[in-house]
């Protein structure tokens, strides 16, 4: 985590009216998020996105354009910068990754169910807006979403 800021890159994948999400469990709480993870030193953002999605879901992907930027700045000091790209699956089949001890599930969720899920960062509304625009609208800069 360079300079106290962790950069997390995620990919929003949709098909047939569903969005792919992964479920994590930390400190007894389960929540959903887009597949992705931390940028490693010397790694490009696109290669990080592709690597993390494959590790968590079994899908190989081609990241597309940046659609959303948000931050989670904890009062205690942890700072996560989230970069969300749209993307498309190029190969593979759905399989929950085993290398992440927090990962519990990977599943396609119906569009109508997304807003009701517990998601972190809490950007379900913004993701649905991006989806409504065919991921072709302006990049959404959400700011600090820490709750």
* pLDDT tens by residue, 109-136: 999 999 999 999 999 999 999 999 999 9
Domain locations in the chain?
2-134
| Alpha helix segments (H runs only) across the chain | 45-57, 124-132
Q: How many Å apart are CA 93 and CA 58, to the nearest integer?
A: 6
Regions of the chain where pLDDT drops below 50: 1-2
Residue 137 DSSP label: S
Report residue 130 as tokens.
């991006």
* pLDDT given at position 4: 85
Using CB atoms within 10 A of its CB, is residue 18 exposed (0-12), middle (13-18) or buried (19+)? Answer: middle
CATH superfamily, domain 2-134, is Nucleoside Triphosphate Pyrophosphohydrolase (3.90.79.10)
Provide the residue count of the chain.
147
Q: pTM score > 0.85 for this model?
A: yes
- Dihedral angle of Cα 125, 93, 95, 108, to the nearest 10 degrees: 20
């Amino acid at each position: 985590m360079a300079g106290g800021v962790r950069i997390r890159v995620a990919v929003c994948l949709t098909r047939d009216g569903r969005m792919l999400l992964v479920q994590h469990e930390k400190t007894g709480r389960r929540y959903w998020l887009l597949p992705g993870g931390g940028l490693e030193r010397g790694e490009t953002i696109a290669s990080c996105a592709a690597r993390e999605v494959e590790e968590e879901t079994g899908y190989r992907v081609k990241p597309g354009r940046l659609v959303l930027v948000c931050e989670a700045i904890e009062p205690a000091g942890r700072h996560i910068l989230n970069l969300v790209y749209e993307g498309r699956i190029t190969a593979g089949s759905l399989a929950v990754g085993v290398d992440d001890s927090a990962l519990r599930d990977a599943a396609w969720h119906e569009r109508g169910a997304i807003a009701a899920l517990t998601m972190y960062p809490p950007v379900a509304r913004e993701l649905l807006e991006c989806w409504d625009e065919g991921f072709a609208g302006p990049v959404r800069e959400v700011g600090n979403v820490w709750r």
